[in-house]
Amino acid sequence: MNTRELITLSFNAIWGNKMRSFLTTLGITIGVFAIIVLVSIGSGLQAYISSQISSLGPNIMDVIPGNNLMSAFGPGTQNKFTIPLAQKLSDRLAPIAQVAPLAEVLTNVKYKNVVDKNVYAIGSTYNFPKAVVYGKTIMGRWFSQGQEQSGSKVAVIGYTVYTKFFSNKNPIGEKIFVGNEKYTVVGVAEKNGASLGVDHDNVVYIPIEAVHSQFGVDRLMEIVVNTNSENNVPIVKKQINAILSKDLNPDEYSIQTGDSLSKTLSNITGMLSLALGGIAAISLLVGGIGVANIMLVSVTERTKEIGLRKALGAKRKDILSQFLLESVMLSMTGGIVGILLGMIASIIIAMILVSSVTFWSVALAFCFSVAVGIIFGMAPAIRASKLSPIDALRYE
């Protein structure tokens, strides 16, 4: 039997049972769709995090509570980061690095009759713009060292807060309520955008002592250190260790440089992508079982046909090839449809979250669908090829 005849017979057999073929391919479609979408989300997240870390610059270091990034804000972490501790770092590192402690609290912000109850008040110091690359202002200025030390109620508002309360109006000098205290707006921070559903501009920056005195926050979520030169990163890291080791145990803090942070987060997102792909592969496995089941039913229904073909001279390998090809055609069709739907869904998801369709995920999904057709179609094909022509013709 030539290849063209084999393909024609397989196609006619599939087309003759449209509904059953559709339901069989649907299982493969769902599995491949899940692989494309979930892996795309994982890949997009990994690319986004890498770009964000790269944008911070090679001079930035994050000093965080806990002995690694995973445990920094997890349950049971003993956070001993205080304002005096950050001040000690700032004083000792002043010649070669800028230090900005960060503390935050979720609160409400009010301007006239407009209220937003989900704004983060982030407390920091006057040199925040020098330590953090996203701390620039597009209107007004950052609060000064004198305003910080005198306990002035001044605020730099995020871009979302600015558009929500002031629209096109100049907010500089206006009074807003942060919690129950009245603050004077002195600046508007540049737009930082949103990621993973979190708006990084729905914030209000105030002096760190204000967060402490008004909200009772006495622990820092992190301390950002920006060295004057990339060459000074190892020196500054060594000095930070020397300073903190006098007050903290080694497992009570960790220093994340751009490289270490990138590697850690890449490992995390890589594992996430693998886990998501594994979950999706289970769906594909279920689809493969469906293919095997349907092909076994098909063999039973077409027993007489198989016997007749063998009686007319069809060889065992011809029967094996036909049923195996039918199985592969079903799974390939489901795979191609699943890939197309998955790519469309990933493009839509990218408009809301982060998603990136990679060539390897498409190739992997397609290979998986073909492999499913071969693996789960092999047993029914072998069974069909082994049928005795006499027994098959007598089958009722």
Same-domain pairing of 150 and 280:
no
Q: Residue 395 pLDDT > 60, yes or no?
A: no
Same-domain pairing of 133 and 180:
yes
Same-domain pairing of 109 and 223:
yes
pLDDT for residue 37: 83
- From 196, 213, 247, the end of a domain falls on 247
Question: In Å, how far are 14, 254, 372, 393 from 287, measured between CA atoms?
Answer: 17, 46, 8, 32
Q: How far apart are CA 263 and CA 265, in angstroms?
A: 6
Q: Residue 75 pLDDT > 70, yes or no?
A: no
pLDDT for residue 150: 82
Same-domain pairing of 192 and 277:
no
Q: What is the mean pLDDT of residues 267-279?
A: 70
Predicted TM-score (pTM) of this structure = 0.61
**Is residue 313 a part of any domain in this protein?**
yes
Same-domain pairing of 354 and 285:
yes
pLDDT tier at 265 (50, 70, 90 boundaries)?
low
Query: In this prediction, what percent of the chain has a pLDDT beyond 90?
Result: 21
Q: How far apart are CA 110 and CA 257, in angstroms?
A: 37
Q: What is the mean pLDDT of residues 263-278?
A: 69
Same-domain pairing of 138 and 202:
yes
SS3 112: coil
**Is residue 75 a part of any domain in this protein?**
no
**Is residue 243 a part of any domain in this protein?**
yes
Helix residue ranges per DSSP H, 150-207:
159-165
pLDDT for residue 189: 92
**Is residue 259 a part of any domain in this protein?**
no
- From 193, 219, 247, the end of a domain falls on 247
Among 21-35, 78-92, 188-202, 271-285, top mean pLDDT goes to 78-92
Same-domain pairing of 359 and 292:
yes
Same-domain pairing of 236 and 306:
no
Q: How far apart are CA 103 and CA 185, in angstroms?
A: 19
pLDDT for residue 274: 72
Q: What is the pLDDT of residues 93-117, one digit of tens each?
A: 888 888 999 999 999 999 988 899 8
pLDDT for residue 56: 58
Same-domain pairing of 125 and 171:
yes
Q: Residue 154 pLDDT > 90, yes or no?
A: yes
pLDDT for residue 110: 94
Domain total for the chain? Answer: 2
Same-domain pairing of 99 and 235:
yes
**Nearby residues of 132 by Cβ (< 8 Å), 6 or more positions away:** 60, 100, 224, 226
Same-domain pairing of 243 and 270:
no
**Is residue 169 a part of any domain in this protein?**
yes
pLDDT for residue 391: 58
Structural domain boundaries, residue 15: 3-51+265-394
**Is residue 372 a part of any domain in this protein?**
yes
Nearest by Cα to 156 from 177, 117, 197, 185: 185
Q: What is the mean pLDDT of residues 320-343?
A: 85
Nearest by Cα to 195 from 46, 386, 353, 309: 353
**pLDDT greater at residue 182 or residue 325:** 182
- From 247, 281, 316, the end of a domain falls on 247
**Is residue 225 a part of any domain in this protein?**
yes
**Is residue 63 a part of any domain in this protein?**
no
Same-domain pairing of 146 and 111:
yes
Q: Residue 203 pLDDT > 90, yes or no?
A: yes
pLDDT for residue 185: 95
